[in-house]
Structure 1
């Protein structure tokens, strides 16, 4: 199991990123559970858990309205599989990483892929 947290994104972009991951891997969220904005103008963080598997269906590139910050947390293999799935749909730029004994945390910036 790995956790994906999204910040700096519109609810539509958050839904797009989670949809890509939901297509590739089982998740703790039902398919109709879409990100919702909360009143108050505070910075939002959307979070979901995914169970990366060796076999996943790659997605074609999908446009985003703007850049999305994503933090992936989990075991090394799980984080690598999530990053690979995101890389099929978006341009992925690593912003930083923290490695532990059994798990890692990786900060990514996702953008629309340019042809």
Structure 2
């Protein structure tokens, strides 16, 4: 069984191990670079349960947006685990967008012929925010 692959410019982003507020900060940063299915009018919210919460979004790296260029997004209050999946060029562009605003470290990778999945740790930079 083969799973359908994402369009070459699309990246799926999954945020976990963070608060809803920090998830929105990361999503807001990415919205300043790429078109997304995540509306700023529908921010992540806490579920009120003790179960782990994950937030997802799709970003089109071929559909760059000019809004927010040069802005410094608010840093997360704690490190955020960001899992990204897509074609290598699209994942690279999305990672570069995160690196413009935050300190980003790679903590895992799973690469195939057509897609790559990275696990990143995103934190605020020292001296900013």
- TM-score > 0.5 by shorter chain: yes
1:14 matched residue in structure 2: 23
**Match for residue 34 of structure 1?**
43
More helix by percentage: 1
Q: Structure 1 stretches of 5 or more lacking a match?
A: none
Contact 2:98–2:104 (CA<8 Å) still a contact in 1? yes
CA distance in 1, matches of 2:71, 2:91: 17
Name which one, 1 or 2, has greater alpha-carbon Rg: 2
Which position in structure 2 is the counterpart of 1:106?
A: 118
Q: Map residues 42-81 of structure 1 onto 2, 5 A cutoff.
A: 42-53=51-62, 55=64, 57=69, 59-60=71-72, 62-81=74-93
| TM-score of the pair, normalised by structure 2 | 0.83
Tell me which stretches of 4 or more aligned residues in structure 1 moved more than 4 Å.
none
1:16 offset after TM fit, Å? 0.2
What is the Cα-based RMSD across aligned positions, in Å?
A: 1.6
